[in-house]
Each structure stands twice: as C-alpha cells, then as structure tokens.
Amino acid sequence: MDGEGIVGLNPSKALNDIKNINSSICDMQNSLVNSTEAFFTDLSLLWYAPKAIDFATKILPKLETINDEIISFNDTTITNCVSAFNRLASSHGTSGINVAPGPYTTANYPVLKDVGPDGQVGMQVAQVRTSVDAYLSAIKGISGALAGVPSRIAFYDTDGGFSGACQTNVNRLRNLIEDAISAIIAEIEPAIQENTQSTEQAASTAAQTMGGAGHSF
C-alpha cells in the first residue's frame, strides 16, 4: 500500500509512468535516427569511394532493423502496459487509462557516393575517425539506456510474465546494437587504415618530389 490504495492502481500515476516509458523509448529512437543521420551526412561529405557505397549498403539495413525493433518494442510495451493496468483497474473498480505509443522520428539518410562533386575520390581520414567515434558513443548510449526499461514496467505486472518477456526483448535489442557496432568497426576500420596509408604515401611522395605536403583526398 502507498496511501492511495493498491500499489499501481492510481490511474494518474499509471498514466504518468507509462507516458514516461513511452517518452524514454521514443527518445532512444529519436537519438538513433538523428545520430545515424548526422553520421551518414558526415560520411557523405568526407568519403567518396566505391567502398563508401559498400559500407552504407552493409550497415544501413542493420541500423534500420534496430530502428524498426525499437518502434515495435515500444508499440508492444506501451500497449501491454496499458492493458495490464486496465485489467487490474477493472477488477478493482478503478478507472482505466489510455496512452498512444510514439511519436517516432522518420529516418532520412543521405546517399554515399563513389565520386565527389569535383571528381575527388578518397577519405578525409581524421574527420571520419572523429565522426565514427562520436557515432559509436551515441549508439552505445542507446544500448545502455535500455537497461532501465524492464524494472519500470514490472510495476503493473502481477505474475512477472510481462516483465520477463520485456527483458527478452531488451536483450534482443541490445544484441542488435552490439552487432551493428561490431559491423561498423569491421567495415570502416580497414578503409580508414587504407586511406591513412595512401594519404601518408602521397605526403611522402610530394615531399620528396616537390617539397610540399600531402592532400586530404
């Protein structure tokens, strides 16, 4: 008891709790879309090569799957939270609640190209590495934020089954994110190393023949 009847059967508190769950998961989805869009916008300006196109082709579907899974997870979680509360409320003569999942951020990622607008091919290595590090940090933060979800929804879960199912889905999402992180590293790190070596070689050649410095592309 909490002074207001059976714990979890205060409609205004339940409404607020479930809205907070919805808001936190929508924030994760928004963060994923916005950070991914910023990352690919950076790459679209800093990396022109066939390998850039290959990278996007391999990585974007993984990120889109995560986005779809977060939305599906939230839709299911919020719907089940409301239903669980309303079942308890009905059996105890307490008024029900309604919370609509969302809203969600629409993804619109730029296309990577093999040749730049001025015919350049290659990678701005230092800036790409900075962008990669920032993006990986952002999506690791999303994975970490998922850990707090199941404990909050258990408040309306009388037999623990709902919480257990939610934990399974949280683990699935975290595994998808970790897989995407590993794939990003595996795909882009060799490209960074390759372009680092070519840039250093170009600088060395230029220094030997002209006394000048290397160039970015």
pLDDT given for residue 203 in this prediction: 46
Residue 145 is assigned to a structural domain of this protein: yes
pLDDT tens-digit series, residues 84-115: 889 888 888 888 999 999 999 999 999 999 99
Residue 5 is assigned to a structural domain of this protein: no
Provide the CATH number for the domain around residue 59. 1.20.1260
pLDDT given for residue 182 in this prediction: 96
pLDDT tens-digit series, residues 54-84: 999 999 999 999 999 999 999 999 998 899 8
Residue 107 is assigned to a structural domain of this protein: no
Give the domain range for residue 142. 11-101+121-204
Mean pLDDT by 10 residues, the chain (217 residues): 50 91 95 97 96 96 96 93 89 90 95 94 95 96 88 73 84 94 95 80 50 48
**pTM for the whole thing?**
0.85
Report the percent of the chain where pLDDT is more than 90: 65
Measured CA to CA, the distance from residue 167 to residue 73 in angstroms comes to: 11
pLDDT given for residue 2 in this prediction: 40
Residue 114 is assigned to a structural domain of this protein: no
CA atoms within 13 A on the CB side of 166: 26
Residue 116 is assigned to a structural domain of this protein: no
Concatenating the DSSP letter of every residue in 186-199 gives HHHHHHHHHHHHHH
pLDDT given for residue 10 in this prediction: 85
123 φ, ψ to 5°?
A: -135, 140
Query: Where would I find the H helices in 146-160?
Result: 149-153
pLDDT given for residue 207 in this prediction: 45
Count of domains forming the chain: 1
Measured CA to CA, the distance from residue 147 to residue 80 in angstroms comes to: 19
Residue 134 is assigned to a structural domain of this protein: yes
Residue 108 is assigned to a structural domain of this protein: no
